[in-house]
Structure formats: structure tokens, C-alpha cells
Structure 1
Amino acid sequence: MITKHSIEPVRVNHGLFQFPEQVDHIKLAVIERHHLTNQLGLGIVKGLGLKSGAIAMTVAHNSHNLIIAGTTDQDMLMAA
């Protein structure tokens, strides 16, 4: 599978991303966990198919940082 770059509008309320189930956009966080830099990357991923909850993993080629995708901050925290 080849990942393609796209720019799409997202729903925001008071500066915060809103999870639109019908569009399949969910939150994504990458947390650096090896050098104590406190680096955090945030974004939105499309096409994962997650309708509720969150998933997390540390197996990511070359970095093995903590990657979390989820529908709510609370679910993402629990997965982390």
C-alpha cells in the first residue's frame, strides 16, 4: 500500500479537532520515548476505519516511538 499525501478540511470547535465518524478522520500522536526530548507530533489520519477507542504501538521502523491513533483523548491515553 502506498500512502498518498492529501490536504482535506477537518471539523474544529474552539480550536480543537472534532471526530467526524462519517469522514473517517481520527487523531494521531507520535511520542518520542528514547532520548527524553519531550517531543510530540500530532496529526490526523484517514482511512484507519476506527469508529471508537484507540490503538497504540511502539513498533515503527527506525524509531520505535509510541504511536497512538484514536477517537478521543481519553481512549488514546488509556491505549498509551
Structure 2
Amino acid sequence: MRGNNIDEVNLKIKKIASSFGIDDKQFDSCLANKDNEEMVLKSRIEAKNLHDIDSTPTIIINNKKYTGNFSVKDISKYINKIK
């Protein structure tokens, strides 16, 4: 998700969340929840330690790491390589 600052990014994510029925109050509450923040941070640290993931998006298929921007077609190509 691209934006000039965190507020722009949050507005874009909030719009996506609203399409799933999450209202602004629910979104803001989730974003302000320190337990959620801690869970995300722990997940990032674990991903870095276990799989050397240091950027998003990163996908691991059959123990091979793919990073950068890719389309569904690209991902399908990576998966089809192992079939």
C-alpha cells in the first residue's frame, strides 16, 4: 500500500476495511489497540528470524523466497514450477 505518509495509507486501508463491513470506529479501535500492535511486531520478528523475511510482499513457496511486487500470474508461475 503506497501513500505519502501513514495517514494516507491508513485512509486507504480504512476504505478497504469498510468494504468488509468494518466501520471507522472499529477500524480506529483496532489500530489503537496495543495488543494488536504487539502481535504484529512479534509476527514480523518471527518471520525475520525463521525465514529471513525483511520486506513485503514476500512469499515462500517450496522453501524458495520471492520478494517484490508480483501479480497473481507471477505467483501462479512460481507455484506451477513445483508441480
Q: Which has the higher relative contact order, 1 or 2, with Cα contacts under 8 A spaced 6 or more apart?
A: 1
Question: Higher strand fraction: Structure 1 or Structure 2?
Answer: 1
Question: Higher helix fraction: Structure 1 or Structure 2?
Answer: 2
The verdict on a shared fold, with TM-score over 0.5 as the criterion, is: no
Rg bigger for which structure?
2
What TM-score does the superposition give when structure 1 sets the normalisation length?
A: 0.20
